[in-house]
Amino acid sequence: MKFSVSAVAACAALLPSVSGTIFYAGVAESSGEFGVWSATATPGTGLPGRFGVDYSFISNSGIDTMVDKNKVNLFRVAFLLERMAPLSYGLGAKFNETHYNYYKQSIDYITKTKGAYAILDPHNYMRYNDPSSQPFSGSVIGNTTDKTAATTAQFGAFWGELAKRFASNEKVIFGLMNEPHDVPSSLYLANLQAAVDAIRKSGAKNLIIAPGNSWSGGHAWTQGGNEATGNWLHKLVDPLNNTAVDIHEYLDKDFSGGHIACEQDPVTNLAGVTAWLKEHKLKAFVTEFGGSNTTACATMLNSMLDYMSQNEEYIGWTAWAAGPFWGTASPCCTDSAQYGSFEPGSKAAGGGPSLYDTVWLPVIQKKVPAKLQWSGLATINGGALTSKPSHY
Ligand SMILES: *[C@@H]1O[C@H](CO)[C@@H](O)[C@H](O)[C@H]1NC(C)=O
Ligand SMILES: *[C@@H]1O[C@H](CO)[C@@H](O)[C@H](O)[C@H]1NC(C)=O
Ligand SMILES: *[C@@H]1O[C@H](CO)[C@@H](O)[C@H](O)[C@H]1NC(C)=O
Ligand SMILES: *[C@@H]1O[C@H](CO)[C@@H](O)[C@H](O)[C@H]1NC(C)=O
């Protein structure tokens, strides 16, 4: 069949994009939110907690392996709002300076010593004041009928202060909130807008990533009627247009990341959010995804990583999860079996290979692009792509 030039162009426009670029790739560092969980939901459990005993942020040697050997350039580092802004101060611009300094040392190690990018991750589910039974405990930020709840303005003040402190570090990315859920979408958006306004008022030009509501699930983006994230998040205004979207997507039957079996095809499940991103000319990071060491999970992880690299809406990702405090426990996808984590050197219970050995190295590592951004401000348009420079 012979096509006219214009017919070829028209057909090409209908084909799915295969021109995507990943600028930022790596792993979530989970351990900073540890040490508070209490089966009896005892408020105050583990607060402030002992750094290096109850919780930690990164292990420098783990970061070294990930950057030097694995050539990743992005880490998402969890912390708790209740430790950074203690309950006795309230959520806002007054920080626990001791705690802040521990966190800053980790972010500086990643960004300045190793030259990678770091996402600041308040791991709080849009809640503040009782993390003891996360993800459900604590007052929803901005809930005006709950007299114990922090206000939307306080959330803004917190982010304004944190942004001011990291504004001079262009490798720092502001992740506004981990997995808001069971929050009315009007309030969810108002909280995010207060944070963006305060960040820009502080003078910081850093990339911001704004989470979806409903646990940030990509598959759920257009579900939930009027409350669907897709009806709200594009209304978030960033005067600098340097805000991307933060999506989570697990592959097990209920999208929780709790189960071994991968049964939810990511290409099908991300189609709706991808179309929404395209419609609103937005870019996205997937900052949580993962799978167990089954062959079905390897297949789905491969198709998910290929999908992100082929669709230009996706510019970065962090897999869930590494972190110095997991030990033989698993952050993802094992039906509670102790298969270890993505922390380099970690082991499964009994000393067998960890998820780092059985999932990260043979599957995810193979999809880390050879060239990533290694210098300059993180932006929604990415930056110059290079191999890892040798001076880091
Ligand atoms: C601040 O953090 C340090 C170190 O964890 C802790 O000893 C101290 O009690 C904290 N202060 C408050 C007010 O939480
Ligand atoms: C807000 O607080 C009220 C009073 O405690 C509570 O009944 C309601 O469920 C809260 N709303 C949300 C979204 O948590
Ligand atoms: C923001 O930047 C993107 C990418 O450069 C562009 O497509 C979009 O139109 C911009 N949006 C606004 C509101 O300026
Ligand atoms: C996954 O890893 C664990 C821990 O090393 C091991 O016991 C299990 O047999 C592995 N599963 C598969 C399907 O390879």
Q: Nearest residue CA, atom 8 of ligand 3?
A: 281
Q: In whole angstroms, what is the distance from residue 23 CA to residue 301 CA?
A: 19
Most confident residue range from 16-25, 37-46, 142-151: 142-151
Query: Which residue do the tokens 């807008």 mark?
Result: 193
Q: Nearest residue CA, atom 13 of ligand 2?
A: 183
Residue ranges with strand state E in the chain: 24-29, 74-79, 117-122, 127-128, 139-140, 172-175, 208-211, 243-248, 284-288, 314-322, 372-373, 385-386
Question: Does the pLDDT value for residue 3 go beyond 80?
Answer: no
* Residue ranges of domains in the chain, CATH in brackets: 21-386 (3.20.20.80)
| Mean pLDDT rounded to a whole number for the chain | 95
Neighbours of 377 (CB within 10 A): 16
Neighbours of 114 (CB within 10 A): 22
pLDDT tens for each residue of 218-269: 999 999 999 999 999 999 999 999 999 999 999 999 999 999 999 999 999 9
Is the CB of 339 within 6 Å of ligand 4? yes
Q: Which residues are catalytic?
A: 179, 288
pLDDT tens for each residue of 76-98: 999 999 999 999 999 999 999 99
Is the CB of 293 within 6 Å of ligand 4? yes
- Nearest-atom number in ligand 1 for the CA of 97 is 1
Higher pLDDT pick, 71 / 13: 71
Q: From ligand 2's centre to the CA of 48, what distance in Å? A: 26
- Nearest-atom number in ligand 2 for the CA of 184 is 13
The pLDDT score that the predictor gives to residue 18 is 53
Q: Which two tokens stand for residue 337?
A: 């079996």
The pLDDT score that the predictor gives to residue 7 is 40
Question: Does the pLDDT value for residue 51 go beyond 70?
Answer: yes
